[in-house]
Amino acid sequence: MKKMFTTRSLRMVTAALLLLFSSAIMAQVGIGTLTPDASSQLDITATGKGLLVPRMNAGARGAIASPATGLLVYQTDGTTGFYAFDGSTWKLVGTPALTGFCASVSAASVSASTAFTVWSTSSPFYNTGDFDATSGEFIVPATGNYLISATIPYKTTAAVTTSQGAGVNPYFEVVRTSPSSASLLQAYLPILDVNIALVLTLRSILGNATVTIAGSVELTAGDIITLNYNANGLTVPIDMGGGLGSGIVWSVTKL
């Protein structure tokens, strides 16, 4: 005997299916598991595969309109990594990869102002890719604060036989050469300045010493910086590196 569904029966079946579907939507979701963790709304279990979040450059990340707190993306340029929006700003998640370099110059004899070139970044020194060792130019990869340090031993190549004038004050400096020129950090070579009435007047650089430059500066992506010697009137030949094995050591690291 055939049974016919009444309109009332169809309504009851439809209501039951809708209730079942709604419960499934509201319940926890497990992908790769039938028993999602009780604390999760979505539990993904897998071996040999991972979760791939949206990947984009910094410009695209910054162009996201009204990002929700907790929004997560992976940035593919500049300081790469996972970025999460905390409700007001994007924050890099975890420890960022090292950005910068540490290089050395074993010897450089100079008698006039110059930028130091032809650096070595071989082990134990390093270069994460933004330092041109030949030209001595560091091209800033991402805007931020950078720690700059330089240790510069030197010695004169011969005895100094003449006193230097009061305006002669040689120094080392870290210079931004592009897009606009600016001296970022400086350090003088030590000067011996003696004036004993009727006995001795002498003003000269020390025969050997080590000069240190250190400081933190804010740099903008695309800035180019170099390490320079500014003779500032001194004509005495100087052996930069001082004959020491390590020579001049210069490093720049993004904080």
In order of their start, the domains of the chain are 31-96 (no CATH), 100-254 (2.60.120.40)
Q: How far apart are CA 18 and CA 14, in angstroms?
A: 6
Residue 178 pLDDT > 80, yes or no?
Answer: yes
Q: How far apart are CA 130 and CA 224, in angstroms?
A: 10
The predicted model gives 147-170 an average pLDDT of: 87
Task: Tell me the pLDDT tens digit for each residue of 62-76.
Answer: 999 999 999 999 999
Tell me the pLDDT band of 4, cut-offs 50, 70 and 90: low
CB 210 within 8 A of CB 242: yes
Question: Rg of the Cα trace of the chain?
Answer: 33
Q: Please give the pLDDT value at position 17.
A: 55
Residue 44 pLDDT > 80, yes or no?
Answer: yes
Task: Tell me the pLDDT tens digit for each residue of 90-114.
Answer: 988 886 678 999 999 988 889 899 9
